[in-house]
Amino acid sequence: MKKNAWLFLCLSGLLAALPAHGASKPVGYVMTVQGNVTTTLKGTPTVIKVGTPVSVGTTFETGENGSFGITLEDGSVMSFGPQSTFTLEAFQFAPAKGALKLAASLKRGTLNYVAGTIARLKPEAVEILTPNGTIASRSAQFMAKIDHE
């Protein structure tokens, strides 16, 4: 019995050490890609393709001719144009528990956002951080353009 208790404590400790945001669990997928687009997670850049998973903490960058679109679990659709840098900062989608959040940062480039369930149920739960402020969604769709630094 002592061996099982020790094993339980070790496993509990390992689970507690995992990131709370679930960085490895996909919360959406890349649905379209054109041109040069890469993703960086934990410092490793990788060229993306249709079907690439989107997780909290993932950063995407488009080149001069790049564009891509993602769809998240709640049905939110986000499309990005050339020379964009985007990071998904937080995502919670558990409507039955009232846990709703979509936070992202757009460092540069363009974004077209079409609202999913999170924005329809709790509009204040959607925030897009930019170098000059925060965009809070209060509508079904918006577009943003952040000029290059």
Distances (CA, A) of 147 to 77, 94, 110, 139: 22, 34, 9, 23
Q: What is the chain's percent helix, strand, coil content, to nearest 5?
A: 20, 50, 35
pLDDT tens-digit profile, the chain (149 residues):
444 443 333 333 333 333 333 446 999 999 999 999 999 766 778 999 999 999 999 999 999 999 999 999 999 999 999 999 999 999 999 999 999 999 999 999 999 999 999 999 999 999 999 888 777 666 677 778 888 65
Element (H, E) at 13: helix 2-17
pTM of the model: 0.78
- 50 and 31 in contact (C-beta within 8 Å)? yes
Cα–Cα nearest to 86, from 62, 63, 64: 62
Cα–Cα nearest to 67, from 26, 24, 34, 101: 34
Dihedral Cα 99, 51, 84, 140, nearest 10 deg:
-50
- Separation CA 53–CA 27 (nearest Å): 7
